[in-house]
Amino acid sequence: MGLALFDLDNTLIAGDSDHLWGDFLVNQGLVDPQTHKAQNELFYRQYQEGQLDIDEYLSFALGPMAGMTRESLSALHRIFVKDHIEPILLDRAFDLIQEHRIKGDTIVIITATNTLVTRPIADRLGVEHLIGCEAEIENGHFTGKASGIPSFAEGKVIRINSWCEAQGQSMEGAVFYSDSHNDLPLLQAVDKPVAVDPDERLEGEALRNGWDIISLRD
């Protein structure tokens, strides 16, 4: 028994939930369509290129939720998961999660996407433990700002170590599955890094280091 860590976007699902959420907000008429869509595309390119400023991005991503409550978001979540997440769920991802569950591993999704977006997706995947970027709340309402250390790049290492300390878990023997070169810090920190349908840079690193490379989409 050990830790089985999973990135979410383009790893357990065949798409990027953060990017899709941005488009969803446009389609729901909750943000300016031209400005928001253009910024959403720009930030996504920066992420793919390894140039993302996570603090700047979180201000953009969480800003539209300012003033909302968990209850007001829940109706949006139901529509979002049904229309945008269900079509990109992967049977092999469910199978892989189940393999680790049978082994008795503790399963954790650790993602740079905020938990307002990813908690319903983790629930749909049947995963209890979720580490993601957190949204600030005051008096029961989201402020549109981030809270704590973002679980992005080196931040994922910090967050999982803090989680392990709080949960009495150990990183010894941990496996981490990811598609992105942005996750190299955590991939390098675990005993069993696995590249899943990797981007070009991560594939190169995996080949050089002899890491396993798998696909959940074939």
Distance CA 140, CA 172 (A): 38
CA distances from 161 to 11, 86, 111, 158 (A): 21, 31, 14, 5
List of residues 6+ apart from 176 with CB closer than 8 A: 5, 6, 7, 110, 183, 186, 187, 189, 190, 192, 193, 194
Residue 9 a catalytic site member = yes
Q: Are strands 129-138 and 141-147 parallel, antiparallel or unpaired?
A: antiparallel
Residue 55 a catalytic site member = no
Residue 3 Ramachandran class (φ > 0 left, ψ -120 to 50 alpha, else beta): beta
**Which residue has tokens 């049904």?**
82
In this structure, the number of other CB atoms found within 10 A of the CB of residue 187 comes to 27
Of residues 9, 16, 105, 183, which has the active-site annotation?
Answer: 9
Distance CA 81, CA 63 (A): 20
CA distances from 107 to 6, 30, 61, 97, 176 (A): 8, 34, 26, 7, 10
Of residues 7, 16, 18, 105, which has the active-site annotation?
Answer: 7
- Indicate which residues carry an active-site annotation: 7, 9
